[in-house]
Amino acid sequence: MKIGLLDSGIGGLTILKALIEKHPNHEYIFYGDTLHVPYGSKKISEITNYANNIIKFLEKKGAEVIIIACGTLSSNIEKLQSKVPLIDIISPIAGKLDKYQNVSVLATEISIKINAFQKYVKNELNLIPCPLLVPLIESNDFSHLDSVLPEYLKHAQNSDAILLGCTHYPLIKEHIKKYFKGDIICLDNYIVEKIANLKPSSFKLTLYFSKLDDNITSNVKRILDREDVAIERSELND
């Protein structure tokens, strides 16, 4: 099956990598809107416009189902328009977090503001907006993480688990664990279970970015840990 994925940048590659490892017999078409990243601090109308253009692009490329590999967009999935089924990354957490008493959620400002995660769990969540993390991760410059990350994680001191509510955050999972001296559970990528029943096909991987440079290319190869990827630039009309 042809599976499309979209994200504001490189964060959705964490979802893509997990899907390829678990379900290699599909054709994957990924689009990262690196020209407009980050989405989490922009107006909802603005980012949904970007997303709907990307969805049209993926549909033209033959995507039969599209994964919204972005926490911010998944928080607003009802505003997205598609001719094919859309799969978000938030609803798969339903029922998964109830075994934890104190869960902190790291996410973008928009996702926190609209309380996108709370409706899927019984216990009250500790919601922590992290506006500076996506730009740092996209820049591939983690030198400022040690000063920025503690300001967010200090609000999660009493947590049993931390839900990484943005697909960029698994890229700094080890930094998060280091802050807690390894004594924390980081939760992500429940979406992998959602495509288990999709009809398999032959493997193919194509990646598109609205902005492409050497830093993005090196990030792609590092995150996916593979060289056999076709990477193209395709800037969409706003």
**CATH number of the domain where residue 229 is located:** 3.40.50.1860
Question: Among the options 89, 166, 176, 220, which is catalytic?
Answer: 166
For residue 224, the tally of other CB atoms under 10 A from its CB is 19
| Residue 10 included in any domain | yes
| Residue 238 included in any domain | no
On whether both 178 and 201 belong to a single domain, the answer is no
On whether both 57 and 172 belong to a single domain, the answer is no
112 SS3 class: helix
186 among known catalytic residues: no
In the sheet where 103-107 sits, what is the strand order?
Answer: 126-129, 103-107, 161-164, 185-187
Number of domains in the chain: 2
| Backbone φ, ψ for residue 131 (5° rounding) | -65, -25
On whether both 195 and 210 belong to a single domain, the answer is yes
The pLDDT of residue 238:
54
| Residue 128 included in any domain | yes
Q: What is the DSSP letter of 209?
A: E
Q: Read off the pTM.
A: 0.93
Residues, the chain: 238
Q: How buried is residue 135: exposed, middle or buried, by Cβ count under 10 Å (0-12/13-18/19+)?
A: middle
Question: Among the options 66, 70, 107, 216, which is catalytic?
Answer: 70
pLDDT digits (tens, 9 = 90+) for 164-176: 999 999 999 999 9
User: Do 97 and 121 form a contact (C-beta atoms < 8 A)?
Assistant: yes
pLDDT digits (tens, 9 = 90+) for 71-88: 999 999 999 999 999 999
166 among known catalytic residues: yes
Average pLDDT, the chain: 93
